[in-house]
Amino acid sequence: MRWWLAGVSLWFAATVSAAPRQSNPAFLGIGMGPGPQGCVVSEVTRDGPADQAGLEQLDTIIAFDELPLDLKQPCDQLVANITTHAPGDRIRVDILRNGVHRDMVATLATRAEMVQRRVGKRIGTTDLVDVDDPRRHYDLGDRAGKTYVVGWFTERCTGCARVFDRIADGLQARSSTAFELAVTPRDYFDEMPAVRKGFSSPVALAVADTLTFGSLAMDDPDRVFFMVIDCKGIVRLVTPIAPDSDDLDAAIDEVLAGATQAEHTRSARR
């Protein structure tokens, strides 16, 4: 089984608790797996809360918010503790590093904060390959006068196709001309028919190499990272959406409003 915090996979034999109820809950920014004394950090998201607090790969988290972790399911407990807090909360994290106890203070953030740094910036050249017609490529930075609504997701995201369908319905209801595109990471393009088979939405589907995908979104099986790009190739909105979240309607409305605003900007500049 895999644990994902900041798009890093780890295998461990714990039972995952209920699916996330928020699209954008508090976030520490680590990948982790169980160890004999707690949760072992496998990866640290660059510039994330854990990185800024000084956590490093192979640190073992033994307590969070001054509560010792249950050694039977330490990672379950840690994730539950993180998501019960609010972004901006300052939390004490107790670790073992090379057998030496240390305590650090991390200020929790959100996934959106980690990707919001792209808002207002021009997106670079991309080479996204259409799954249904590999001869068709998408360059999100070509500035061809088109507004893109791009959803970055992994194939493990259960229910993500339904989110794309709802975005498509919303764009149609608003008479939007924005082009919706679903993008998933894939290095071996010869397997693309299998990618389409696993994605039930009729929305245009493309694959990105893992380097491109990782530079623009997070590899998170519980969320789609939607990005609105205006006709000038400038990112106007980035937001994560969890298909089973309580705030799903509000998150979808935010994407649709972002697309509408981007199109109004295009009209004003003609």
Q: What is the mean pLDDT of residues 108-113?
A: 82
**Candidate ranges 7-11, 24-28, 61-65, 265-269; pick with highest mean pLDDT:** 61-65
Q: What is the mean pLDDT of residues 159-180?
A: 95
List, as one string, the DSSP characters of 191-244. GHHHHHHT----SEEEEE-HHHHHHHS---TT-EEEEEE-TTSBEEEEEEE-TT
Whether residues 61 and 126 share a domain: the answer is no
Q: What is residue 39's three-state secondary structure?
A: strand
Distance CA 64, CA 68 (A): 7
Whether residues 144 and 33 share a domain: the answer is no
Whether residues 24 and 128 share a domain: the answer is no
Q: What is the mean pLDDT of residues 219-232?
A: 88
Question: Rounded to the nearest 5 degrees, what angle is found at the Cα of 110, between the Cα atoms of 10 and 254?
Answer: 120
The percent helix, strand, coil of the chain (3-state, each to 5) is 30, 30, 40
Whether residues 144 and 197 share a domain: the answer is yes
Q: What is the mean pLDDT of residues 65-92?
A: 90
Integer CA distances (angstroms), 108 to 181, 185, 244, in order = 31, 27, 22
**Last residue within a domain, chosen from 84, 110, 136:** 110
Q: Which range marks the domain in which residue 71 is found?
A: 2-110
Distance CA 96, CA 124 (A): 41
Whether residues 94 and 40 share a domain: the answer is yes
Whether residues 33 and 123 share a domain: the answer is no
Whether residues 176 and 214 share a domain: the answer is yes
Whether residues 102 and 133 share a domain: the answer is no
**Last residue within a domain, chosen from 60, 84, 110:** 110
pLDDT over 50 (residue 127):
yes
pLDDT over 60 (residue 9):
no
Whether residues 91 and 125 share a domain: the answer is no
pLDDT over 80 (residue 266):
no
Whether residues 198 and 252 share a domain: the answer is yes
Contact assessment for residue 95 and residue 62, using Cβ atoms and an 8 Å cutoff: yes
pLDDT over 50 (residue 8):
no
Q: What CATH number is attached to the domain comprising 13?
A: 2.30.42.10
Residue 21: predicted pLDDT: 65
**Last residue within a domain, chosen from 110, 132, 162:** 110
Average predicted confidence (pLDDT) for the chain: 84
Per-residue pLDDT tens over the stretch 178-194: 999 999 998 766 677 78
Whether residues 246 and 148 share a domain: the answer is yes
Number of domains, the chain: 2
Per-residue pLDDT tens over the stretch 30-68: 888 899 999 999 888 878 899 999 999 999 999 999 999
pTM above 0.85, yes or no: no
Whether residues 145 and 50 share a domain: the answer is no
